[in-house]
Chain A
Amino acid sequence: MTEPLLEFRDVTIQYQTNRGPVTAVSGASFSIEPGEFSGLVGESGSGKSTLVKSVIGGLDSNGEVTAGKILYKGEEIQDYTEEELNEKIRWKEISYIPQSSMNSLDPLQRVSEQAVEIASVHSDLSKSEALERFKELFEIVGLSPDRIDDYPHQFSGGMQQRAITALALFLDPALIIADEPTTALDVIMQDQIFKYLDRVKANTDTSMLLITHDISVVFESCEQIAVLHGGQVCESGSVEDIYRNPTHPYSILLQRAFPDIRYPDRKLEIIEGHPPEQLGEVTECSFVERCPWAVDACYENAPPLENVSESEQNHQSACFRNDETHALKGELTELAGLTDGGEPNE
């Protein structure tokens, strides 16, 4: 196995508040291999945005990685200063597609000017070379190249999203972090964006970390997936393994909460409650309050991520009842009256 491109090792991130430290991420581990598209899934409050911010230094001033390591190409980057991040990481190595693409371009500057500025900071490209390259990228993301000199307000929401995607691809980064890149868009627009990202995947070695609440998007576009709940990684592995054999109760339920247009009559699973806000150290499974199968042990310790089976590489789940989940799932099928049609490839 090669060295992972980006690796989180037992990362804990806390925010200092006047009520004490709030733990947004606790003991999270997972990694991204070169050339791979990886999805990080969780609902609001799961800590997924905090986790990605810790990589490129976007944490709020009261937030800090208090334990664990973030390794990029083997080098620890969690303690990098702003200057070091600017020098070594940002855009040269890791670029970023923000959630709020609508407001992420400077309204007072032409889009091309913003691209040229990035190029002048991070590369040796001349202005004309930079513009040439930016035009090519506009074409790749499905925008007309002669619109690079427009102001952001002249673009629609979907077009701004594409321009932001072009900027992320601009300097050939090794990794793109995309934070809910399509949440604000309509389905057709979302699919168009992913069409172009598919193209990137096919034609370059760039890896991507896709942060989203939408498990369908990850199943369709990524190879690896990590499911996050209440700051803990519940389960991680290849999308095929997790689809076929979800093991953590949260992944099992989350997967069944998503509508599948092929089975419009399937009853959707409901997960009661919300991810908890963790004050101080986390000493239990963050899903315990919402879990239908919680036992006493779940309150006493946070379960570690463990391999699920010998046969599935890299498939890990953090649940004390990993071995029993097949039986539990059966119970669920009965409870929810799930039709067999909902479980292809079993």
Chain B
Amino acid sequence: MSMKRYVAVRTIQTAVLLMLILTFLFMLFRLIPGSIADQMIFQGASPEAVAAFEEQWGLNDPLHVQYYHYLVNMAQLDPGTSLHYRKPVLDYVKLKMFNTFILVAPGVTAGYLLGTSLGTIMGIKRDSLLEKYGIFPIVGVGTTPSFFLAIIGVIIFAGWLGLVPTSGMITPQVALEMGEDAPWWKIYTTGDFLWHYVLPFSVIAIKYMYEPLLIMRTSVVEMAGQDFLHYHKLTGLPKARWIRHLGKHAIIPIITFYPISLGRAISGLVLIEIVFNWPGIGNALVEAVLQSDYPVIQFVFFLTAAFVVVGNYVVDIVYGMIDPRISIAD
């Protein structure tokens, strides 16, 4: 299969998958007991607001027309207005997304880097003490729910040692002092933010180190047994160079596993955000569910699913470029 064809296939598959998710969401929210309009009025919306809402989503139209409106709105990234906050969902969610991103991207990346390097060492130094006993705490972390890991962190570092705050992203005082006019990114540059950031970041890094570590360890062991690496060793490559070869191959499963891991990270992240009361989309989702804020639920859920799907797509393309067996037709 040529690279062109490979990309085309994956692109179409991804587009279909996104459509499927959208459709699934559409159907899900049409199954909700009671009409959304009732719910809005119950929450104190004005009749005009209800009418506007129904207008935007075409709620009084037949189902296929509704579906059409729904797709158009989603495609234009216009997921409507939050029922609870009375402002456009996108505006409300934008900042939350950033908060999540700034926590999860560095956290998961750090976990991946740590896990991959530790896994490589363990795979190469088999039968060493590190390999034999080092695996226990790692597996322990893997089998501990992420939120509990976060709680342990809070108990030890915030409660007993008092090194960091128990929750939040910034001390309200600090935010207030900055004033209304400060640009939105200002708070991320403060020391106070960093102080709040350390613990959740570390918890995520530790939690997401476990899988790449195990995969890399297995992969290194497996790869070291491959004929071509054995051959390369016998050609007399110095150890460091040989390990570089090994690493290049052993890392492939890590790359292919990344989207699955990312999906799980997003899933588990919701819980970590709640423990630390971090104002990200995880918290927003739970809040929206508790307030029956359907436009927000719908959009946030779509975002998380789309993130996984698109992540998967990107990784597959990258993988295709790395491996000449895919990118070079024979």
- Please, how many residues of chain B have a CB less than 8 angstroms from a CB on the other chain? 25
Q: Is the CB of B227 within 8 A of A56?
A: no
Closest to A152 in B: B228
Q: Which of A82-90, A286-294, A319-327 contacts B (4 or more CB under 8 A)?
A: A82-90
Q: Tell me whether A108 and B249 are in contact in the complex, defined as CB-CB below 8 angstroms, given that A86-B236, A117-B237, A153-B324 are known contacts.
A: yes
Q: Is B238 an interface residue (CB 8 A)?
A: yes
Tell me the complex Cα distance, A154–B327, Å: 12
Residues of B near A107 (CB, < 8 A) are 228, 323-325
Answer whether residue A121 sits at the interface, using C-beta atoms and an 8 A cutoff: yes
B236, A121: Cβ atoms under 8 Å? yes
Bound complex: CA A57 to CA B242 (Å): 15
For chain A, residues 257 to 293, give those with C-beta under 8 angstroms from any C-beta of chain B: none
A103 B236 Cβ-Cβ under 8 A: no
Whether a CB of chain B sits under 8 angstroms from the CB of A91 is yes
Q: A56's closest neighbor in chain B, by CB?
A: B234
- Taking CB atoms, residues of chain A closer than 8 Å to B72 are none
Q: Are B241 and A121 in contact (CB under 8 A)?
A: yes
How far is A154 from B324 in the complex, measured between Cα atoms in Å?
A: 10
Answer whether residue B76 sits at the interface, using C-beta atoms and an 8 A cutoff.
Answer: no
- Given the known inter-chain contacts A108-B323, A151-B325, A153-B330, please indicate yes or no for A86 contacting B237, CB distance below 8 A: yes
Contact of A85 (CB < 8 Å), options: B226, B230, B236:
B236
Expressed in whole angstroms, the minimum distance between the Cβ of A23 and any Cβ of chain B is 22
Residues of A within 8 A of B248 (CB): 108
Q: Which of A83, A98, A122, A153 contacts B227 (CB 8 A)?
A: A98
Convert A131-153 into 0s and 1s, putting 1 for each residue whose CB lies closer than 8 angstroms to a CB of B: 00000000000000000000101
Min Cβ gap A274→B in Å is 25
Contact of A108 among B239, B241, B324 (CB under 8 A): B324
A96 within 8 A of B: yes
Complex Cα–Cα for A48 and B245 (A) = 29
Chain A 111-131 per-residue mask, 1 if CB under 8 angstroms from chain B, else 0: 000100110011000000000
B322 at the interface (CB under 8 A from A): yes
- Report Cα–Cα, A107/B231, bound state, in Å: 13
Beyond A58-B233, A103-B226, A164-B231, 7 extra complex contacts between A and B, CB < 8 Å = A57-B234, A86-B237, A90-B234, A103-B228, A104-B231, A117-B237, A118-B236
Shortest beta-carbon contacts, A-B, top 10:
A90-B236, A103-B227, A104-B231, A86-B236, A100-B227, A151-B324, A91-B236, A154-B330, A104-B227, A153-B325
Q: Which residues of B contact A (CB under 8 A)?
A: 127, 226-239, 241, 245, 248-249, 322-325, 328, 330
A binding-site residues for B, Cβ under 8 Å: 56-58, 61, 82-83, 85-86, 89-92, 95-96, 98, 100, 102-108, 114, 117-118, 121-122, 151, 153-154, 164, 167
A-B contact pairs, 28 of them (CB 8 A): A56-B234, A57-B234, A58-B233, A58-B234, A85-B236, A86-B236, A89-B236, A90-B234, A90-B235, A92-B236, A100-B227, A103-B226, A103-B227, A104-B228, A104-B231, A105-B231, A106-B249, A108-B249, A108-B323, A108-B324, A118-B235, A118-B237, A121-B236, A121-B238, A151-B324, A153-B330, A164-B231, A167-B235
